Amino acid sequence: MDLSIDLCGIRLKSPLIVGSGPISYGAEGMIRAFNHGAGAVVTKTIRDQAADNPFPHIALSDAKSLVNAEKWSDFPARQWIDQEIPRAKAAGVVVIGSIGYTPEAVDHWICDVDRAGADMIELVSYREETIREMVVRAKRLTDKPVFVKISPNWPDAVSAAIDTLRLGVDGITAMDSLGPVLRIDIKTGRPMLGGAHGEGWLSGAAIKPIALSYVAEIAAKTDKPIIGLGGVMNAEDAVEMMMAGASAVGVCSYPIIRGTKALGTLNKKIISLAEKLGFSSLSEISGYSQPYLRSGENSTKFSFSYNPDICTECGRCVTVCPYEARSMVGRQMNLDRSMCRYCGLCVTACPTGALSRSEVTG
């Protein structure tokens, strides 16, 4: 299977786009991510003033999620223009230049970012009310494709995204990290992160359901490309994001937690999984679930199937059943149908697929 995709007329060698964050701190990190399998890399966000980050500013929240208080780029904007973007481009990187967080920053830097060689622009803002004006100014100043990165912290992120599409934006990145959030080190009683009140932003697996919802809702309203960013930590997550309607798959926490070399492994696993599911191209996957998501009430009767040959007797299906409808003796599965509400939790908890469900027709 060919992993390359077309994004706004630009050919990417893979659907994986490394989002703006610690990995893309400068040219060196961007080149490393690109060489290990990223199709494109988004710069750290460029502003008038370089960031002064608190210490510490990144911590694991769980095995697959991060909390961070890192701000925008700690390099001066001029360094990006004169050194980082040109160096990344010279190494062959497809560069998406991130600019934030005000209309004035767009005025100050978008032309220089364009001339420095950025292939696309991504606009990011902490405040929903500024993003529309940022788009208007950006589309006036550059012919490069412009994406808007929506934030779950905005009052109505989906409506804002649709508004920017009407203003001529070329695509949407959904979504930014969620916050503010807090983690406390119980050994010391202190917050895990520095900065004001110890608060930061949540990324990684914990936010994937939110990102999927945004991607699906926006995809239902436009045929413009969507970069699905938020919680993709394995091939299954990537395929799920594309099925919801993403044209490309954003990753940020994944290469931080697993290392950038894992990007190549992820690409291979996406191919293997897609072929196992019966797809012959990534384009077949993108938006695959939209007809089901647009059909109104999504409720289908189902029956359970049980394969004792692959059951490990772990008992998860029994443990998680809130209605105590399941029991097991050895590998003999029992279901009290008078107690079962057909919630389906047991199927999703089964680690081997020994317990499955199938639709009931007729």
The 10s digit of each residue's pLDDT in 323-345 is 999 999 999 999 999 999 999 99
Q: Which helix (H) or strand (E) holds 127?
A: none
The residue segments making up the domain with residue 350 are: 302-359
Contact 228, 242 (CB under 8 A): yes
- The CA-to-CA distance between both ends of the chain, in Å, stands at 37
Tell me, yes or no, whether 76 and 189 share the same domain.
Answer: yes
Tell me, yes or no, whether 343 and 266 share the same domain.
Answer: no
* Residue 245 to residue 291: CA distance in whole angstroms: 11
- Residue 359 has a pLDDT of 81
Tell me, yes or no, whether 317 and 220 share the same domain.
Answer: no
Tell me, yes or no, whether 258 and 349 share the same domain.
Answer: no
pTM score: 0.94
- Residue 297 has a pLDDT of 64
* Residue 148 to residue 250: CA distance in whole angstroms: 14
Tell me, yes or no, whether 203 and 93 share the same domain.
Answer: yes
Residue 302 has pLDDT above 90, yes or no: no
Q: What is the count of structural domains for the chain?
A: 2
**What's the chain's average pLDDT?**
96
Q: Percent of the chain at pLDDT above 70? A: 98
Tell me, yes or no, whether 334 and 187 share the same domain.
Answer: no
Average pLDDT over residues 57-63: 97
Confidence of residue 299 (pLDDT cuts 50, 70, 90): low
Tell me, yes or no, whether 65 and 16 share the same domain.
Answer: yes
- Residue 298 has a pLDDT of 61
User: Could you report the per-residue pLDDT of 188-208, keeping only the tens digit for each?
Assistant: 999 999 988 999 999 999 999
Average the pLDDT over each of 112-116, 315-319, 355-359 and give the range with the smallest value. Answer: 355-359
Q: Which residues of 182-192 are buried (b: 16+ CB within 10 A; e: fewer)?
A: ebeeeeeeebb
Name residue, tokens 């973007």: 85
* Residue 223 to residue 290: CA distance in whole angstroms: 12
Contact 22, 70 (CB under 8 A): yes
Can you read off the two tokens belonging to residue 88?
A: 């990344």
- Over the Cα atoms of the chain, what is R_g? 22
* Residue 44 to residue 23: CA distance in whole angstroms: 9
Tell me, yes or no, whether 336 and 188 share the same domain.
Answer: no
Tell me, yes or no, whether 71 and 109 share the same domain.
Answer: yes
18 forms beta bridges with 41, 251
Residue 171 has pLDDT above 60, yes or no: yes
User: Could you report the per-residue pLDDT of 83-116, keeping only the tens digit for each?
Assistant: 999 999 999 999 999 999 999 999 999 999 999 9
Contact 174, 229 (CB under 8 A): yes
Tell me, yes or no, whether 85 and 220 share the same domain.
Answer: yes
Residue 180 has pLDDT above 90, yes or no: yes
Identify the domain boundary among 276, 293, 310.
293
- Residue 203 has a pLDDT of 98
- Residue 296 has a pLDDT of 64
Tell me, yes or no, whether 286 and 349 share the same domain.
Answer: no
Residue 72 has pLDDT above 70, yes or no: yes
Residue 348 has pLDDT above 60, yes or no: yes
Tell me, yes or no, whether 283 and 339 share the same domain.
Answer: no
Identify the domain boundary among 293, 311, 339.
293
Confidence of residue 59 (pLDDT cuts 50, 70, 90): very high
CATH (domain of 342): 3.30.70.20
CATH (domain of 101): 3.20.20.70
Identify the domain boundary among 241, 260, 293.
293
User: Could you report the per-residue pLDDT of 219-277, keeping only the tens digit for each?
Assistant: 999 999 999 999 999 999 999 999 999 999 999 999 999 999 999 999 999 999 999 99
Confidence of residue 355 (pLDDT cuts 50, 70, 90): very high
